[in-house]
Chains A and B, each alone.
Chain A
Amino acid sequence: MLMLKEVLYQMLRDARSQKLRTFLTGFGIVWGTVAITLLLAFGTGLKKQMIKSTAGLGDRIGIAWPGLTSKPFQGLGKGRRIRITEEDLIAIRSQVPGLRSLSPEFAGDMKLRYGLKTYPVDVTGVTPEFGGMRNLIPQAGSRFINPIDMEKQRRVLFIGNKLAETVFQKEDPVGKTVILNGSPFLVVGVLMPKNQDSSYRGRDHDQAFMPTSTYRALTGAKYVSNFVFQPAKVLEMKAVSNGVLTSLSRRLRFDPADKEALSVWDTTEQFQFFEVFMLAFTGFLGIVGSLTLVVGGIGVSNIMNVVVEERTKEIGIKMALGARQRSILTQFLMETLLITGSGGVLGLLISFGICSAFPKLGLTDYVGDPQVSPVVALITTGILGVIGLLAGYFPARDAARLDPVVAMKL
């Protein structure tokens, strides 16, 4: 009330009379704000980018490879090869609660001929569900393998975007026919480019996919190379993974505790680790930023102490005229909050500016784009508020406690 105008005026006056000190103080707060928001913004951007890259492998899936048994089981020796057929997988599907999708993979090298050129290609036979689990999204005007392809053993191919470039260059691959190990195949889909930071049989953009039925008919393959599965709920991954292992071990007669008979890669484990890592990382950045702000706050407190000293006489006069302690306290608190507030606003603006300019640097693929989330802005504002109050409170309290007689004599 009283005093907004007066406070602003005094602030400007103080700022003018103590240019360097005010600048340094304001700079501390601005710097602290920029540090905390930018660190957290880059953290958020990095996290999004890493989630995106992780999702390139698949949408929270488990991948299982059959191997050799390492433990004897029910009279069967160790070193026995576990072989899984597509029928085994179809059979266990209904036995595992919480299992949403499951697809075998039959993998092999084939020769792909288009026009006069021949290319060696990794080919995988999969079911239509595979596309969804592994985030194989078709480009506009194309599609992934569908159930009718499966049923009719159609000779159709879904190819990676890089493979498509190599083979077809500028041509549109969809609708073209290629010769694969001597048989004609129709290209029905091309992979939408994606970030993929991990793989187990080369990157998806170099591969070709066909229905399992077609693959088996073409090659006579009986046993799957590996299979991919996905739980209905991410949190049930462990249970579903165990369910798959138990059902298969019962059916194929191996020890469910035998890690080598069937090795499972739970990609959500990596995801969970990543969550924990990011939490720790964000916490660390937050603490570093907050400490920077605290240092800025100490600067503000310091300047306020000097300001109180300089204005002792004025405080004394106001008290003589009937100012209560709270009026004096409020005046100095407001002034402190104004300094921290304007420093904070400036800092936030700088951070927003940097964040919106950052994508132009072309580093997005490596570190993601920093984002100042509303939460970060809110937290920063909160910390600034607390620091402003603390930094202002003690000098303001000292001011309010002055003895008017002594204060006026100065």
Chain B
Amino acid sequence: MATRHEEIRADRPIIEMVDIRKVYDTGKVKVEALKGIDLSVAKGEFIAIVGPSGSGKSTLMNLIGCLDTATGGEFRIGGELVKGLSRDQLADVRNRRIGFVFQAFNLLPQISAAENVAMPMIFGGVPAKARKERVAELMEKVGLGDRMEHKPTELSGGQMQRVAIARALAMNPDIVLADEPTGNLDTSSGGDIMGVFLDLWKQGRTLVVITHDMALARRAGRIVEIRDGRIVRDAAVGPEEGAASVSAAAGAHVQGLASTAEQAA
């Protein structure tokens, strides 16, 4: 199975979305959150998805993360078609292919940092011995080799996010999917975490970051801007051009909020 996995990875993009649509049907009201998204992410890319609240970027993140399924279009992750999968099959896809990093860290507070990192491997059926070695390796990698047995509450925000990144890498996933990873951190810790992401990118990881943080977005290789359920901009970030485009995007923010309000009403 591992070989098939590798083959697919070699000749296809990691993420392929064709005309992806998502409609929330509450019975009375139908809300079209995504109105046809085409997105392709190649192996080793670092993309930032930006957009105002209500633009549909959270919905897009849920779809990429296989936490939810699209109502239309075709989505492949690592070449695998995500359609008509059962809840358990989706759980397996998340387990093997996606490493989540959340804004609120989402560590389990009652178990140690090491046990948190081991969690995806437990669900993935990795034997205990291999699990232990991998946890030690990952904790070392994020610079917390000496904090293995600490409870999350005994760590700083930046340290907690590092543990979360170690956890995201546990199953060696196709992509690392981060949702506002610096949103709960001060500037220095945020910069710290940004550094970890850049290191991962250098090592050939595929990273997808959803963020409001323009400083963070500017450091990515590519920015995808969403507004009102559509991709309005998808461009590589050059050293100078990036800064310009982002300020334009930030300027459009207020307008985006207005359109969200209309949509909600």
A residues apposed to B, CB below 8 Å: 1-3, 6, 9-10, 13, 313-314, 317-327, 404-405, 408
Contact = CB atoms under 8 A, between A and B. Distances in A.
B95 interface: yes
B91 to A, nearest CB: 5
Given A323-B91, A325-B88, A9 B171 contact: no
B88 A13 contact: no
B110 A9 contact: yes
A31 to B, nearest CB: 30
Contacts of A6: 110-111, 115
A317 B167 CA distance: 12
A324 B92 contact: yes
Contacts of B232: none
Interface string B201-234: 0000000000000000000000000000000000
Given A323-B91, A324-B92, A325-B87, A318 B123 contact: yes
25 contacts: A2-B122, A3-B122, A6-B111, A9-B111, A13-B110, A313-B106, A318-B108, A319-B91, A320-B65, A321-B95, A321-B100, A321-B119, A321-B123, A321-B167, A322-B91, A322-B95, A322-B124, A323-B91, A323-B123, A324-B87, A326-B88, A405-B62, A405-B67, A408-B102, A408-B106
A320 B167 CA distance: 12
B123 A327 contact: yes
Interface string B57-86: 000001001011000000000000000000
Given A314-B108, A325-B88, A320 B94 contact: yes
Interface residues of B, number: 25
A396 to B, nearest CB: 15
Given A2-B122, A321-B167, A324-B88, A405 B95 contact: no
Contacts of B100: 320-321
A324 B110 CA distance: 21
Contacts of A319: 91
Given A321-B120, A322-B92, A325-B87, 16 more contacts: A6-B111, A9-B110, A314-B108, A319-B91, A320-B65, A320-B94, A322-B96, A322-B124, A323-B123, A324-B87, A324-B88, A324-B92, A325-B91, A405-B62, A408-B102, A408-B106
Contacts of A408: 102, 106
Nearest to A313: B106
Residue of A9, A317, A319 with most partner-chain B CB within 10 A: A317
A162 B67 CA distance: 87
A317 B106 contact: yes
A322 B123 contact: yes
A323 B62 CA distance: 16
Contacts of B124: 322
Interface of B: 62, 65, 67-68, 87-88, 91-92, 94-96, 100, 102, 106, 108, 110-111, 115, 119-120, 122-124, 167, 171
A154 to B, nearest CB: 85
Contacts of B120: 321-322
A152 to B, nearest CB: 87
A175 to B, nearest CB: 80
B174 to A, nearest CB: 13
Contacts of A10: 110
- List 4 tightest A-B contacts by C-beta distance, closest first: A322-B95, A322-B123, A321-B120, A324-B88
Contacts of B87: 324-325
A237 to B, nearest CB: 65
A236 to B, nearest CB: 64
Given A323-B91, A325-B87, A405 B68 contact: yes
Residue of A3, A322, A405, A408 with most partner-chain B CB within 10 A: A322
A6 B111 CA distance: 8
A106 to B, nearest CB: 85
Contacts of A13: 110
Contacts of A405: 62, 67-68
Nearest to A6: B111
A181 B87 CA distance: 99
Nearest to B106: A317
A326 B88 CA distance: 9
A347 B6 CA distance: 57
Contact of B67 (A1, A313, A320, A325): A320
A6 B94 CA distance: 22
Nearest to A3: B122
Nearest to A314: B108
A321 B92 contact: no
Contacts of A326: 88
Nearest to B109: A314
Contacts of B171: 322
A408 B96 CA distance: 20
B105 to A, nearest CB: 10
A24 to B, nearest CB: 23
Contacts of A1: 122
Nearest to B97: A322
B192 to A, nearest CB: 23
A6 B110 CA distance: 8
B111 to A, nearest CB: 6
Contacts of B92: 322, 324
Contacts of A323: 91, 123
A37 B171 CA distance: 50
B91 A324 contact: yes
A360 to B, nearest CB: 46
Contacts of B94: 320-322
A76 to B, nearest CB: 91
B106 to A, nearest CB: 5
Nearest to A400: B87
A2 B121 CA distance: 10
B110 to A, nearest CB: 6
Contact of B119 (A318, A325, A404): A318
Contacts of A313: 106
B70 to A, nearest CB: 13
A405 B92 CA distance: 16
B113 to A, nearest CB: 14
B142 to A, nearest CB: 17
